[in-house]
A and B are shown apart, each in its own frame.
Chain A
Amino acid sequence: MMVLNLFLTFFKIGLFSFGGGYAMIPLIQREIVTLHRWLTMSQFIDVIAISQVTPGPIAINAATFVGYKVAGVWGSAAATAGVVMPSVLVSLGLTWAFLRYRSLAVVKAMFTGIRPAVVALIVAATLSILPSSITNFAGLLIALLAFLAIRYFKLDPILALVLAAAIGILIG
């Protein structure tokens, strides 16, 4: 029962991958390439490359891609549902608990500690993709212009991405 197998494997990937994004790649690789041999290593590298040029979380891209390769459209639906479900269930549980207990002093104290750590997490994530994102002077200019336009001229972030892509095509 290949569709069920896909669902369960990606459920496991979704459940045990904390941190999102590239932190999930080693786990996905072990399940898909090493254990199940659904993709070869070079196909897997292609999936990562495709994820970099398409929107959305890499785990979802990998699930959809692998599911389609192994068992067609139903396979991709099963794999995608599998990878998303643990996130949804755990997030629901945490949100329910947070909404229920957030007025407790101890929970408030926890979040006064957690909030500055969230800023640190975003800074760390930005630093980690910075070298591969801004590789030349044109890139630096695009980043600065986009930042100023969003910050001070209230440019819509989505429009900023579209304009940056157009500039990339024009100068590329």
Chain B
Amino acid sequence: MLPPTPLRLFWTFLAIGAFTFGGGYAMIPLIKKSIVERPRWMEDEEFVDAIAIAQSSPGPIAVNIATLTGYKLSGLGGALFSVVGATLPSFIIILVVASIFLGVQHNSYVRAAMAGMRPAVIALMAQAVLDVGKTAVKSRFSIVLGLLALVALTVFNVHPVLVIVAAAAAGVAASRLGLAQVPNGAEQKEQNKETR
């Protein structure tokens, strides 16, 4: 397996940055393919945790995922090269657009290409839901919590960061009450007995 050097991370995130349409979540299948599946640089569960941390930081999710993936795999240099790689395509494209191609959003070919690409972005995001869901939703507790979070987000427009904080609190509460099974939970169960 090729080690994740900063330069390799740069090229990986450059490709991802060039094809991130429709927001950060659509890049999840892209990142998963080039970080978790092809070179097994990360485990499925670590990847889900990375997305959770990215969602808890301010700013674009794409930048956050690049930062923490790069840092985890190759330290500060890895983080720096990953962020520059993920940012460079949009930076260069917008410079070109702003200086010589200002009407790009009205170009009929560009519009037709986007009309074709948008449904594919939905397919990518559905893919992300299934991929992340398979790793993250394993118990009755996680099904209930996931549904509650979805209702909070879509029906009551609760802020994503608040949902994550509440979910973390629910996880702690559930493990104290013995409702949720925490991975590698042997020591956890011991601790539960003690606290009772």
Interface residues of A (CB under 8 A from B): 14-24, 46, 49-50, 52-61, 64-65, 68-69, 73, 76-77, 80, 83-84, 86-88, 90-92, 94-96, 98-99, 102, 105-106, 108-130, 132-134, 139-147, 150-151, 156-158, 160-161, 163-169, 171-172
Verify if B125 is at the interface (C-beta below 8 Å from A).
Answer: yes
Contacts of B130 in A (CB 8 A): 151
Verify if B9 is at the interface (C-beta below 8 Å from A).
Answer: no
CA distance A98 to B49 in the complex (A): 9
Contacts of B3 in A (CB 8 A): none
Chain B interfacial residues counted at CB < 8 A: 113
CA distance A158 to B137 in the complex (A): 27
Chain A's nearest CB lies how many Å from the CB of B91?
A: 5
Whether B53 and A98, one on each chain, are in contact in the complex, defined by CB atoms closer than 8 angstroms, is yes
Contacts of B115 in A (CB 8 A): 139, 168, 172
Verify if B5 is at the interface (C-beta below 8 Å from A).
Answer: no
Of A142, A147, A150, A164, most buried by chain B (CB within 10 Å of CB) is: A164
The digit string for B174-193, where 1 denotes a CB below 8 A from any CB of A, is 11100011111001100100
Whether A117 and B19, one on each chain, are in contact in the complex, defined by CB atoms closer than 8 angstroms, is no
Residue on B with the closest CB to A23?
B160
Contacts of B150 in A (CB 8 A): 120, 123-124
Verify if B113 is at the interface (C-beta below 8 Å from A).
Answer: yes
Q: Can you identify 26 A-B contacts, CB atoms within 8 angstroms? A: A22-B23, A50-B97, A56-B93, A57-B60, A87-B57, A87-B63, A90-B57, A91-B57, A92-B71, A105-B191, A111-B168, A115-B136, A115-B137, A116-B136, A117-B149, A118-B136, A121-B25, A121-B149, A126-B25, A144-B123, A147-B123, A150-B29, A156-B33, A160-B124, A171-B112, A172-B109
Chain B's nearest CB lies how many Å from the CB of A52?
A: 7
Verify if B164 is at the interface (C-beta below 8 Å from A).
Answer: yes
Contacts of A90 in B (CB 8 A): 57-59, 64
* Cβ-defined partner of A106 (8 Å) among B58, B117, B142, B172: B172
* Cβ-defined partner of B120 (8 Å) among A16, A84, A146, A172: A146
Whether A142 and B113, one on each chain, are in contact in the complex, defined by CB atoms closer than 8 angstroms, is no
Contacts of B118 in A (CB 8 A): 129, 132-134, 139
* Cβ-defined partner of B55 (8 Å) among A110, A121, A163: A121
Contacts of A169 in B (CB 8 A): 109, 112-113, 116
Verify if B169 is at the interface (C-beta below 8 Å from A).
Answer: yes
CA distance A168 to B166 in the complex (A): 41
Contacts of A95 in B (CB 8 A): 53, 67-68, 71-72
CA distance A50 to B28 in the complex (A): 22
Contacts of A19 in B (CB 8 A): 55, 159-161
Chain B's nearest CB lies how many Å from the CB of A49?
A: 4
* Cβ-defined partner of A80 (8 Å) among B87, B109, B135: B87
Whether A143 and B63, one on each chain, are in contact in the complex, defined by CB atoms closer than 8 angstroms, is no
A119-B129 contact given A57-B90, A98-B49, CB 8 Å threshold: yes
Chain A's nearest CB lies how many Å from the CB of B151?
A: 9
Verify if B111 is at the interface (C-beta below 8 Å from A).
Answer: yes
Residue on A with the closest CB to B161?
A18
Chain A's nearest CB lies how many Å from the CB of B16?
A: 8
Contacts of B93 in A (CB 8 A): 54-56
Whether A57 and B24, one on each chain, are in contact in the complex, defined by CB atoms closer than 8 angstroms, is yes
A53-B123 contact given A16-B58, A17-B58, A120-B153, CB 8 Å threshold: no
